[in-house]
């Protein structure tokens, strides 16, 4: 387990306006719900001290996880930082912590609940912190898709592979139908495994990660891939197209990484001569094809750690992380710029701010459990099956 503590930065909340997300509960999706409780005022100058005091009072009872895309004001209180899968595993390795406070988005907290013990309570500081990509595949839509595949006579040849960035329902569907979960680090291994079990893969919910892995890493052609659109009858595909395809890609994408374009790459190469373009595989295929390096968040961080002084990098991933990396590596003489000229935060990740974290920690310190994320036992059992298949990948 990574135990490195994130240094406390004394960062106060930023004035960034938050996007208003959906209101009202929708337990089968990542859609936002209202956050109960009275939040501290964002302008309270004592927020950092209050968060620190509440965390100290909770001691080893609380373990705070911080996703790489979180704001500085929040990440300074993380006991450990990482991507979604690493954080879920870190949580599972701390069975003594009664409360796991997940500073990330809803599907991540669900995965942490699935991988931790029944006694541990996973808490999401703002219930409206969902994920637009995970929301693009609902349980009903995916069940309907399976009916379409069955009608076309291909379901028996199909193995589902679902990206970590999906709801617990979709992970459970995957487990039930003999499939596995993947991350952006092991998608190729997951697909290789799946093609040993069947002839076709249904890749959920990120079309770009599925296409990039199949075409860029595994040598398939773009014609081997078809796009299933859940908003069209039969996914917008004929039975013949489904029979001919190797990869059936779900029509989902990340609203952050999907913003990078081929023009962003061409433009940065002109602006910064000699720049290395390094992007996440959730970016569109043409962006990935034009980049110099492609990999997960952890890969991006490791690549920059190993980069020589004087090198120049344009990074295509979430802005909070890119800004932090630019500051971290500037003293080493590494120039890091954001791939796109327009600001590109993940708005749902940004829902978790210092007032929500203070409210959560103070509530827990007073003995009030708030915003618990709990996956029902049947969903958990099948989702765990899919996650365990991933852990067993060679
Ligand atoms: S960066 Fe994209 S995939 Fe990650 S939480 Fe935000 S919308 Fe979802």
Report whether residue 256 contacts ligand 1, using a CB cutoff of 6 Å: yes
Last residue within a domain, chosen from 214, 237, 255 = 255
Q: Residue 150's domain spans which residues? A: 134-255
Question: Residue 369 has what pLDDT?
Answer: 96
Question: What is the count of structural domains for the chain?
Answer: 3
318 Cα to the center of ligand 1, angstroms: 8
Residue 114, in any domain of the structure: yes
Residue ranges in the chain modelled with pLDDT below 50:
1-8, 13-25
CA 126 to chain centre: 16
Q: Supply the CATH number for residue 60's domain.
A: 3.40.50.10800
> Atom 8, ligand 1: which residue's CA is nearest?
131
The answer on 127 and 1 residing in a single domain is yes
Sequence-distant (6+) residues with CB within 8 A of 132 are 30, 254, 255, 348
145-173 per-position pLDDT tens digit: 999 999 999 999 999 999 999 999 999 99
Binding-site residue set for iminosuccinate = 67, 84, 163-165, 184, 280-282, 297
The answer on 108 and 162 residing in a single domain is no
The answer on 315 and 285 residing in a single domain is yes
The answer on 117 and 1 residing in a single domain is yes
Closest alpha carbon to 168 in 107, 115, 117:
107
Question: Residue 343 has what pLDDT?
Answer: 61
> What DSSP line would sit under 23-69, residue for residue?
-S--TTS----PPPS-PPPTT-TTHHHHHHHHHHHHGGGEEEEEETT
Question: Residue 17 has what pLDDT?
Answer: 33
Question: Residue 36 has what pLDDT?
Answer: 61
| Residue 320 token pair | 């909070």
Question: Residue 394 has what pLDDT?
Answer: 84
Residue 11, in any domain of the structure: yes
Query: Alpha carbon of 149 to those of 152, 158, 159, 210, 222: distances in Å?
Result: 5, 8, 11, 18, 20
**Proportion of the chain in helix, strand, coil states, percent, rounded to 5:** 45, 15, 40
């Amino acid at each position: 387990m990574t135990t490195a503590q994130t240094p406390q930065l004394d960062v106060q909340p930023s004035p960034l306006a938050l996007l208003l997300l959906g209101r009202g509960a929708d337990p089968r999706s990542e859609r936002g719900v209202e956050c109960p409780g009275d939040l501290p005022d964002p302008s309270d100058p004592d927020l950092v001290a209050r968060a620190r005091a509440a965390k100290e009072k909770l001691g080893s009872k609380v373990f705070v996880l911080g996703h790489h895309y979180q704001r500085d004001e929040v990440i300074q209180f993380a006991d450990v930082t990482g991507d979604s899968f690493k954080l879920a595993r870190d949580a599972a390795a701390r069975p003594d912590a009664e409360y796991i406070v997940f500073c990330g988005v809803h599907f991540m907290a669900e995965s942490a609940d699935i991988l931790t013990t029944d006694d541990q309570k996973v808490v999401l500081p703002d219930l409206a912190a969902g994920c637009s990509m995970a929301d693009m595949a609902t349980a009903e839509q995916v069940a309907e898709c399976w009916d379409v595949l069955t009608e076309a006579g291909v379901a028996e040849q199909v193995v589902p592979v679902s990206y970590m960035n999906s709801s617990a329902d979709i992970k459970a569907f995957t487990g039930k139908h003999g499939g596995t979960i993947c991350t952006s680090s092991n998608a190729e291994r997951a697909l290789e495994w799946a093609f040993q079990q069947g002839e076709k893969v249904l890749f959920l919910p990120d079309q770009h990660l599925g296409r990039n892995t199949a075409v860029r890493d595994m040598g398939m052609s773009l014609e081997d891939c078809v796009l299933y659109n859940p908003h069209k009858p039969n996914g917008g595909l004929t039975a013949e197209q489904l029979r001919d395809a190797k990869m059936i890609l779900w029509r989902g994408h990340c609203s952050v990484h999907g913003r990078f374009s081929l023009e962003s790459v061409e433009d940065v190469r002109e602006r910064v001569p000699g720049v290395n373009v390094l992007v996440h595989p959730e970016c569109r295929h043409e962006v990935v094809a034009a980049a110099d390096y492609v990999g997960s968040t952890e890969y991006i961080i490791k690549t920059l750690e190993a980069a020589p002084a004087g090198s120049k990098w344009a990074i295509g991933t979430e802005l909070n992380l890119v800004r932090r990396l630019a500051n971290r590596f500037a003293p080493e003489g590494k120039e890091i710029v954001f791939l796109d000229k327009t600001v590109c935060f993940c708005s749902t990740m940004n829902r978790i701010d210092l007032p929500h974290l203070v409210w959560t920690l103070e509530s827990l310190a007073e003995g009030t459990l708030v915003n618990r994320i709990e996956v029902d036992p049947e969903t958990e059992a099948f989702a765990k099956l899919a996650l365990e298949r991933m852990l067993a990948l060679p």
